[in-house]
């Protein structure tokens, strides 16, 4: 870890200035790096950032399983980091990008949070703080160049991309990064096959406090999609693996593999083996309750499909 300069906080901010990380705690950096299976050479460089990002989205699931049996609690990225390290949880955007921001800052990267908004078939374009976005600068190759870093879309980036107008191909996606029409900021146009049309985010910096209310809403409201359906995503280098209730899909550039998980043993084995989510804190009663809930979600889906 880079040394703290005299008159500066650990994050590098002068003590005379407001700290953008005032609501963040500290993370066991070495334990989290071991959890995702990477080493860091101490220099904030592009190769290291790419390896960190790829390992993080591959090894730490984007998931809403954690909200199925009880609502979410207050947004606490230090607690989320401890649970990720213990294989008790993955996270969703506020948690995943919040923990990643803290990790990168501890490793010497210059990280900024931004308010964002994800556009889906049921949610219009705009910025309403339903998404937390990161940008990074300070890489040794070009300290002033900015990079879009986002581990919180589930089916999003495998590697960071330069914050500039560009066409982006990251298997199995073709994406476009451009200036936003919704805000003074940026727009990532997504591949429409995946249920996300795009994501807008502001140029202005944000703090974790800006997302606290939306987190409690999305993780606590029974009508929220994060409560209504147990979903788990793993972003691999050439594909996206998704488990929605008991339906597993893996999407490649030219085909999709699909299957239904029919037994609780198979369900929990897939969570543990494919999504690195063994849930050691779940006893037999909680596993039974979770299985009944995800199977009911599947039956409700079949009934709704038959009636449409």
Query: Of the candidates 50, 40, 36, 45, which has an alpha carbon nearest to the alpha carbon of residue 159?
Result: 50
Residues 6+ apart with CB under 8 A from 1: 29, 42, 106, 107, 108
For the stretch 212-221, pLDDT in tens is 999 999 999 9
Domains along the chain with CATH numbers: 29-213 (3.30.2140.20), 229-307 (3.30.2140.10)
25 pLDDT tier (thresholds 50, 70, 90): low
**Partners of 263 in the β-ladder:** none
Q: Where are the beta strands (DSSP E) in 173-293?
A: 173-179, 185-189, 198-202, 231-235, 240-244, 247-251, 256-260
Which whole number is the average pLDDT over 106-110?
A: 95
Angle at 62 between CA 56 and CA 66, to 5 degrees: 125
φ, ψ dihedrals at 70, nearest 5°: -155, 155
The better pLDDT of the pair 3, 113 is held by: 113
pLDDT of residue 24: 46
The better pLDDT of the pair 180, 5 is held by: 180
For the stretch 10-21, pLDDT in tens is 344 443 334 444
Query: What is the rounded CA–CA span in Å between residue 48 and residue 39?
Result: 9
For the stretch 248-292, pLDDT in tens is 999 999 999 999 999 999 999 999 999 999 999 999 999 999 999
Q: Is the dihedral of CA 214, 219, 221, 226 positive or negative?
A: positive
């Amino acid at each position: 870890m880079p040394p703290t300069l005299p008159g500066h906080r650990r994050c590098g901010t002068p003590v005379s200035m407001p700290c953008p990380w005032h609501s963040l705690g500290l993370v066991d950096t070495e334990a989290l790096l071991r959890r995702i299976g990477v080493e860091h050479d101490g220099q904030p460089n592009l190769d290291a950032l790419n390896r960190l990002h790829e390992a993080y989205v591959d090894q730490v699931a984007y998931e809403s399983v954690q909200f199925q049996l009880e609502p979410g609690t207050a947004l606490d990225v230090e607690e989320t980091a401890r649970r990720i390290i213990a294989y008790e949880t993955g996270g969703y955007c506020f948690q995943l990008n919040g923990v990643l921001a803290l990790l990168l800052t501890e490793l010497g990267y210059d990280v900024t949070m931004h308010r964002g908004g994800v556009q889906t078939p049921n949610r219009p374009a705009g910025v309403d703080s339903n998404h937390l976005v990161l940008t990074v600068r300070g890489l040794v190759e070009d300290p002033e160049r900015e990079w879009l870093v986002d581990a919180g879309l589930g089916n999003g980036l495998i590697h960071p991309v330069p914050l500039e107008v560009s066409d982006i191909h990251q298997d199995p996606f073709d994406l476009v990064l451009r200036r936003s029409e919704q805000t003074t900021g940026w727009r990532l146009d997504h591949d429409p096959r995946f249920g996300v049309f795009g994501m807008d985010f502001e140029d202005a910096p944000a703090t974790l406090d800006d997302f606290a209310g939306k987190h409690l809403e999305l993780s606590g409201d029974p009508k929220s999609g994060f409560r209504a359906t147990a979903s788990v995503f793993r972003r691999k280098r050439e594909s996206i693996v998704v488990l929605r209730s008991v339906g597993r899909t893996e999407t490649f550039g030219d085909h999709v593999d699909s299957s239904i998980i029919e037994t609780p043993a198979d369900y929990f084995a897939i969570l543990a083996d494919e999504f690195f989510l063994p849930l050691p804190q779940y006893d037999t009663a909680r596993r039974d309750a979770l299985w009944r809930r995800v199977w009911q979600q599947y039956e409700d889906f079949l009934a709704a499909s038959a009636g449409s």
